[in-house]
Chains A and B, each alone.
Chain A
Amino acid sequence: MEAQKQTLSERFYRALLRLFPFDFRGDFGPEMEQAFKEQRVHARREAGNIGLLRLWWETLAGIFTTAPAEHLAMLQQDVRYALRMMRKNAGYTAVAVITLALGIGANTAIVSVINTVLLQPLPYQQGDRLVMLHQRADKAGLANILYSVPEIKDFRQQNSTLSGLVEYHSMQFMLLSKEGATRVRAGVVSDGFFGMFGVKPILGRDFTPADDQPGAPAVLLLSNEYWKHHEHGDPAIVGKTFQMNDRVHTVIGVLPPVPQYPNENDVYMPTSACPFRSRPKMIANRNGRMMSLFGRMKPGVSAEHCKADLSLISARMVAQHPDAYPKELDINTAAVSLRQELTKGAAPMLLMLAAAAGCVLLIACANVANLTLARMAGRERELVLRSALGAGKGRLLRQLFTESLILGLLAACLGVVFASQSLKLLVDFTARLTPRAREIQVDGYMLLFALAAAFLTSIVSGSVSALYSRQDLAAGLKDGNAHSTSGRHRVHARDVLVVCQVAFSFLLLVGAGLMLRSFSKLRNVDPGFVPQRVLAMTIDLNWSKYSGKPELVRRVSNQLLEKTQSQPGVLAAAISSSYPMDPDNTGGGWNQRLTIEGHPQRDGEHPPISSIRSVSPDYFKALGIPLIAGRVFNEADSDKVPDVVVINRTAARHYWRNDDPIGRRVSFDGGEHWIKVIGVVGDVREFGLDKEPGDEAYVAQAQTPALGSIVLRTSQDGMNIANQMRRAILEVDPQTAIPNVQTLEQARNASMASPRVMTDLLGIFAALALAIAAFGIGGILALTVNQRLNEIGIRVALGAKPRDLLAMILRQGMTLVLIGLAIGLASAMGLTRLMKTLLFEVLPTDPLTFAGVSLVLGAAALLACYVPARRALRIDPLRALRSE
């Protein structure tokens, strides 16, 4: 019994000793146990159990106060020592810290973007229950044809899974005040829209059901930005009135500064205030689809349940109104999580960037581990000596980890600086892909991630060096020779690290190379027009003045044309409904179903759909679109003569194959009115260089008036005369807004902005990787040369030719590089497939890119090997021989 009790106490005491640092325990543990045992015997003899209790109390208090102090003292000592070593090797420290900082910085920035955009819930109450409804026309390949008023009513009345269903559409209106005409983007929403998203006005009130009734007085809610920038944050704004669409609109409130989805708007109005949405004809028309629908799933309803509910209603509508849902379009409704909907464009690019940044960090880690190992070779004697003098293994490991941790923390500090500096660039980039970009900021998560990355890199690079140093020390102690064969382990480890660096660099370079190839292909795509020296101006007439008066539109169009054409520097001017790569018109524009005379619609065949643009005669001349057959519009094609149409080459091939389309007829209204084809023009990439041109039809501006923009071919850079043109347009009608002025070259460049930024970012990462890897290879070889000075000296003394020496050292370096290249090549073959969606007309295994990258990497590695090899050649054999 007594013996067992003693062992229990002893065991407990021994366990307590584990609180002390490893070395302390190793030095004094057994003694302390012995002393404690004697203390216990004494205490029991003197004061029995009370004495024992008192002893335990004192012992525990002693251990709990001294153990942390011992750890702290050791840490202080280690930190001091590490800092001293780092100062002594300032070059090594700087390289390690900077490479790690670049890796940590890149990862921190990208991870905080991913965290905000892809991982955080939407900034709305229970944002994950919000869904967006998509009315799809599967057979026509349309992902969302939007909803009409009767459809909205049906979904509201019949669904059982949504606690709220609100509609939204966005329009641009002219807001008239004493200061002049401003174009505003107005969000038109149904009652309950803001409530469903959990947004409450900071001033005034939200829309009420009464505001939404037909004929209700027009009211407005201002967005926070509009209120601040245009109304100077006027606290007495509620009650102010504006003239818009020929009606007086009263401000009833101001929204808080929350990110606005699905679009940024200046003002919001109820459906009753929108002149289009409130027309009785619109309200009754099941085909008048222009609204987006958002819903909130009831608590406990699963996404599947909701989907099933909505598609049932959709099927019922199709059955009840076959006219509105042509069979050949296969219209149906699907519910998509709003979060997914808002971020789907950003996910592939962000994940790709994260992978690239991760690669850079790994390469940097390998580099630091390698540098540490290399440096340890120099410190081998010191370490073996310290070990022999009684510094425990644990002590040395702790020392190594402290060093790499300090490196990591320094790098993290610098990395956060890099990250916060580069965040703006990333936010601009992400903003092209998702509206959530506005939420990105330097936050606690970002700092936490940088810290975690610092610890992780310290552990990775620390463990690698520790792993090999441990084996070395053990062996080094055994035979007491610092240059023992055990060195091979470490040489081996360094080789593995170099191979990894080369392989990862190869991956990154291939990624960047593919993007570069894809981008240059994209840039060289013929857009179908000549973008140089073309100025495009978006024109917004005061809609309420011209609505329903085509005669008036025609007249103002002619005035505008005359006015702009007569300006100096203008070679050709045209009016059109929109222009190619118009940023406001990237979605697909104005599409119409087409009927071709003599081509009855066959069952199961996709109905021809064509994108339509209304243009004045000089449009083709201004943009440099070539005429292929027939003629383009001229002054004679007025509203007094039968309508005519010009089609593009794709449409001509599509509908008439090898026949001549000139003189054939098409209809936009199912055969009620037939329009003659008078000409065929070249294809234009209207919606982006990466989008194949579709079927296009041009109608004459004089016959189908639509005034959206003015395009001008100019004799010099268009932007030079932009202000002059602006004045000319306002002279025709001062109530005109000109929200967007750009040259087509700018429009074309803007359409390539996200692939360009992506290419730049990947290129930066790849260059970084290449530099780090080259540095790593060079550093390792330099070290090997140093270690083999003796051998090299002997060889030189024995008459080895410089050429042989050079070959020997290069062979050693390049063998590793070639192994790395082979591994990189094999993994790249598999991994680049993931990039497929980001590439334009380039195969993920593009042989040219792979070959080019191999060459670049090989050349960089060769150079990195050559520098230390040259040094070896200049060695004085006598000095080399003495180096031992």
Chain B
Amino acid sequence: METSLTPAMFQVLLALGDGEKHGYAILKEVEDQTGGEVRLSTGTLYAIIKRLLIEGAIQECRHRPPVEEDDQRRRYYRITPAGRQVAIQEAERMERLIATAREKHFLKRLRPA
């Protein structure tokens, strides 16, 4: 990716991690997966979608859900393998960061489950 991944972009990629979604569904998913902490507005979301589309991290789906659930104005997006790779790299980077934070005692050590 040309530009760095912002936290909001990462959240959108994560939201698409378990399958294709339309815009509103992404908004809901981001809110749910952050426990209501991150609430994207439509403007912010679509600016992110535009960038992710350009970067090739996501793409629009060709096939649509059954007609009775569909709305013509909706478009569905799914994560591309490249996008997944980017998200994985970001997650790994964060993991390393957390590990460092634990070593330096910023966080408690993980107890074995």
Contact = CB atoms under 8 A, between A and B. Distances in A.
A62 B50 contact: no
Interface in A44-69: 58-59, 61-63, 65-67, 69
A565 B82 CA distance: 103
Interface residues of A, number: 24
A63 B46 CA distance: 10
Nearest to A19: B43
A58 B50 contact: no
Contacts of A20: 43
B15 interface: no
9 contacts: A31-B22, A32-B43, A34-B74, A35-B24, A35-B42, A38-B24, A58-B41, A62-B43, A63-B41
Contacts of B43: 20, 32, 59, 62-63, 65-67
B46 A39 contact: no
B73 A62 contact: no
A30 B46 CA distance: 11
Nearest to A32: B42
A366 B71 CA distance: 50
B44 interface: yes
Given A31-B73, A39-B42, A66 B23 contact: no
B27 interface: yes
A35 B21 CA distance: 12
Contact of A58 (B23, B39, B46): B39
Given A31-B74, A32-B43, 4 more contacts: A34-B71, A36-B42, A62-B41, A66-B46
Interface residues on B, range: 20 to 34
A12 interface: no
A27 interface: yes
B40 A62 contact: yes
A325 interface: no
B50 A27 contact: yes
A597 interface: no
Nearest to A61: B41
Of A35, A39, A59, chain B has the most CB atoms within 10 Å of the CB of A35
Interface in B26-73: 27-28, 39-47, 49-50, 71, 73
Interface string A658-684: 000000000000000000000000000
Contacts of A28: 46, 49-50
Interface in A731-786: none
A391 to B, nearest CB: 13
Interface string B8-31: 000000000000001110011000
Contact of A59 (B24, B42, B49): B42
A32 B44 contact: no
A486 B71 CA distance: 39
A62 B24 contact: no
Nearest to A38: B24
Q: Considering the complex of A and B, which 4 residue pairs feature the smallest CB-CB distances, nearest first? A: A62-B41, A62-B43, A35-B23, A63-B43
A69 B47 contact: yes
Nearest to A36: B42
A24 interface: yes
A33 interface: yes
A38 B27 CA distance: 10
Contacts, number: 61
A639 interface: no
B27 A35 contact: yes
A70 interface: yes
Interface in A110-139: none
A24 B54 CA distance: 12
Nearest to A42: B28
A19 to B, nearest CB: 9
Given A28-B46, A35-B24, A59 B73 contact: no
Most buried by B among A38, A42, A70: A38
Given A31-B74, A34-B73, A39 B44 contact: no
Contacts of A63: 41-43
A631 B75 CA distance: 110
Given A62-B41, A62-B43, A67-B43, A34 B24 contact: yes
Nearest to B53: A27
B45 A35 contact: yes
A256 to B, nearest CB: 58
Nearest to A23: B50
A34 B28 CA distance: 14
A67 B44 CA distance: 9
A70 B74 contact: no
A821 to B, nearest CB: 53
A39 B46 CA distance: 14
A20 B43 CA distance: 9
A297 B41 CA distance: 66
Contacts of B39: 58
B54 to A, nearest CB: 10
Contacts of B41: 58-59, 61-63
A31 B50 contact: no
A30 B45 CA distance: 14
Contact of A39 (B22, B27, B50, B75): B27
Interface string A777-816: 0000000000000000000000000000000000000000
Contacts of A36: 42
A859 B42 CA distance: 65
Contacts of A58: 39, 41
A523 B42 CA distance: 77
Nearest to A64: B43
Contacts of A69: 47
Nearest to A70: B47
Contact of A31 (B28, B44, B46, B47): B46
A649 B105 CA distance: 116
A58 B22 CA distance: 20
A195 to B, nearest CB: 64
B79 to A, nearest CB: 18
A62 to B, nearest CB: 3
A341 B75 CA distance: 73
A31 B26 CA distance: 12
B72 to A, nearest CB: 8
A35 B39 CA distance: 13
A36 B73 CA distance: 12
A34 B23 CA distance: 9
A582 B42 CA distance: 82
A42 B42 CA distance: 14
A32 B27 contact: no
A66 B73 contact: no
A40 to B, nearest CB: 10
Greatest chain A CB density within 10 A among B40, B43, B74 is at B43
A32 B50 CA distance: 12
A33 B50 contact: no
A34 B75 CA distance: 10
A62 B44 contact: yes
Which of B24, B27, B75 is the most central at the interface, judged by chain A CB atoms within 10 Å of its CB? Answer: B24
A27 to B, nearest CB: 7
Contacts of A42: 28
Interface in B55-111: 71, 73-75
A287 B79 CA distance: 102
B75 A31 contact: yes
Contacts of A61: 41
Contacts of A27: 50
B71 to A, nearest CB: 6
Nearest to A56: B41
Nearest to B23: A35
Nearest to A24: B50
B89 to A, nearest CB: 24
